[in-house]
Structure 1
Amino acid sequence: MKSASIIMIIGSAMLLGLFVFPLWSIELEAPQYPNGIGMNIHLDGLQGREKHDLQNIDGLNHYIGMRKLPKADEMWEFSTFPKVIGAMAVLGIVIGLISLFKSISPKWFLAWLVLMVILGVLGMYDFNNWMVDYGTNLDPKAIMKMTDADGNPLSYKPPLFGTRHILNFVAHSYPSTGAYMMGFGMFLTFMAYWLGIKKTKIVNT
C-alpha cells in the first residue's frame, strides 16, 4: 500500500495547482481583434489574457446589453471554490498519509475520488448556469438589439466546451492548465485505488 499511498498524496496535491493556474479559458476572435481577446477563469476571479482584455470585453458587451464581467467579490463562487478545493486537497493528502502509516481500505481513495467528481460536476453545472444568465439576461435598453429569424433575442452565451460563432465573433471555451492538473490528479487517485485493491487481494490470497 505504500506506493498507492504516495500516489494518492501526489494526486491530491495536484489540486493545489488551481491556486496558481487558471481553471478555464475563453477566447474571442473577430476581424477587429486579429490576435483575439480572452479571459482566464481562476478559482478566485477573472483575469484578462492580455492587460486590457477584460476592459475590451466589457466594452463590446455594453453595446448588446450584457452586464460587466463580475469582480471577485461579486460572485460567491470566487470565495467558496478556493475553500472547497483547498479542503479536498488537504483531505486527500491526509487520507494518503494515514494510509502510509496505517493500513486502511483503498475504498477511502475511491470515496475521495467520487466526492471530487460530484463537486466537479456541480461546479461545471453552476458555471454553465452563470453563462446562460450572463449571455441571455440582457439590458432591454441596449444600443444593439439582435434577434433571430423568429424575432427572439439572440443568446450570446459562450460555449461551455468547444467553439461557437456569435455574430462576427468566434468564441472558444476550453479547460486550462489548472483543469488539466486537477484531471491528472484525479486520475492518479484512481490509480492509487486500483493499486491498493490489487495489493489487498494479493495479501488476502
Structure 2
Amino acid sequence: MNASSNKLSFTSSLLIILAAVLFAVSNFFPWWKMVFWAPQYPEGLNIIVYPNKLEGQIDIVNGLNHYIGMKNFSEKNFPELSYLSYLIWGAAAITLLTALLRKKVVLYVLIGVIVIGGVLGVLDLHNALHDYGTNLSPDAPIKIAPFVPPVIGKNQVANFITHSLLGPGTYFLLTAFVLLLIPLWKDRKRK
C-alpha cells in the first residue's frame, strides 16, 4: 500500500472541514424538544434542549408534573449540559484537524469516536426519560402508572399528548456525520 492510498483527497478534506463547521454551528441550535398538548393548553408547552441549557415553558410543565409526582426539569438535573457544548467544540476541532492531516486512519478513528458518543448520548437521554417517568412520587395527588417518554415519537399521559422531536442542532450533527462518511466511499480506491 503506497502512502497516497492512505491519503484523503482535497475534496474529501473540504467535506470534512464543512462537517467541522456543522459540528460547531450545532451548538447554537436546539438539539431536542418535547411539546405537550392538552385541551387547556391548545398552543402547546415546550421543553427545548440545547447542548448547554433548557428553554421553554419549564415552570408550567414542572407545575403540572408535580400533580403526577414527577421531579422537576431543570438544568441542575442534567449535568451533561455543563460540558456537552465543550465536547462538541472539541469534536469540531478534532474534525478540522482530521481535514488538515488528510489521513484515512485518523478519519476512521474520528468516525468511531463520534458513533460511540452518539450512541452514549441517545442512551443517556433515554435513561433520563426513563428516570423521570418511572420514579414518580408515591405522595402525588394524581396516581398514574409509570411510563417512559420516547426519545422520538408520541406519548399520552392523562389528557396530555407529548411529542418528542429532534431539533435543528441534531440535524446539523447528522449532516456532519454523513459528510464524514462520504470520503470513505469517495476515496475507497484512490491511487
TM-score, normalised by the number of residues in structure 2? 0.90
Q: What are the Cα deviations for residues 34-73 of structure 1, in whole angstroms up to 9, with x where unaligned?
A: 111111111112110xxxx1111011001111111122x4
Instruction: Name 2:54's counterpart in structure 1.
Output: 46
Instruction: Name 1:27's counterpart in structure 2.
Output: 35
Supply the distance in 1 between the matched residues of 2:188 and 2:16 (Cα, whole angstroms): 13
Supply the distance in 2 between the matched residues of 1:40 and 1:74 (Cα, whole angstroms): 15
Q: What are the Cα deviations for residues 181-204 of structure 1, in whole angstroms up to 9, with x where unaligned?
A: 000010001012222324x2xx2x
Correspondence list, 1:80-99, <5 A: 80-99=83-102
Q: Offset at 1:156?
A: 4.1
SS at match of 1:174: strand
Q: What are the Cα deviations for residues 68-92 of structure 1, in whole angstroms up to 9, with x where unaligned?
A: 1122x44321112112211111101
Amino acid of the structure 1 residue aligned with 2:116: I
What's the % identity of the aligned pairs? 30
TM-score, normalised by the number of residues in structure 1? 0.84
Supply the distance in 2 between the matched residues of 1:109 and 1:196 (Cα, whole angstroms): 12
Supply the distance in 2 between the matched residues of 1:107 and 1:98 (Cα, whole angstroms): 10
* 1:107 maps onto 2:114 in alignment: no
CA spacing shift, 1:114–1:121, aligned 2, 3 Å: same
Correspondence list, 1:52-131, <5 A: 53-71=57-75, 73-99=76-102, 104=103, 106-131=104-129
SS at match of 2:67: helix
Supply the distance in 1 between the matched residues of 2:77 and 2:38 (Cα, whole angstroms): 29
Amino acid of the structure 2 residue aligned with 1:155: P
Matched residue pairs, number? Answer: 183
- Stretches of structure 1 that go unaligned for 5 or more consecutive residues are 147-153
Amino acid of the structure 2 residue aligned with 1:83: Y
